[in-house]
Amino acid sequence: IGRTVARVREAVVSTQSTGKNGAVFEPGQGNNAYIFPAVALGVMCCGSIRIPDDLFLTAAEALSELVSEKDLAVGRVYPRLSDIKEISVHVSVAVIKRCYELNLATVLPMPDD
């Protein structure tokens, strides 16, 4: 209708647009609600010495794993905000693992869990 949601390769892109009858559709606050807090938690937990762009890609990929077909079917491009605690843990763990893979973590040895 007036909402623009497009799959670009393996990403979901959401932009603001105007629909029929002047209705304005705006994208959610994915970075502010889901990505930045989880990246910050992850780098603090492992003591990362840097925050390269790759960590944001890792966080976005981890977040996308939590978007279900049901979410997409009802027009959500993010998981439910009511699940933010569990989502933040999932995304942060992915960021932490990536920090260890990139030898950025200073909390050593890498925890088993």
Which residue in this structure is represented by tokens 């959401």? 14
The token pair at 104 is 């950025």
Q: How confident is the model at residue 30 (pLDDT cuts 50, 70, 90)?
A: confident
Enter the pTM of the model. 0.77
User: Residue by residue, what is the 3-state secondary structure of 43-78?
Assistant: HHHHCCCCCCHHHHHHHHHHHHCCCCHHHHHCCCCC
Residues 6+ apart with CB under 8 A from 87: 34, 38, 63, 66, 79
Looking at the DSSP assignment, which residues form a beta bridge with residue 7? 12
* Residue 5 host element (H or E): strand 4-8
- pLDDT tens for 72-112 read 888 788 898 899 999 999 999 999 999 999 999 999 999 98
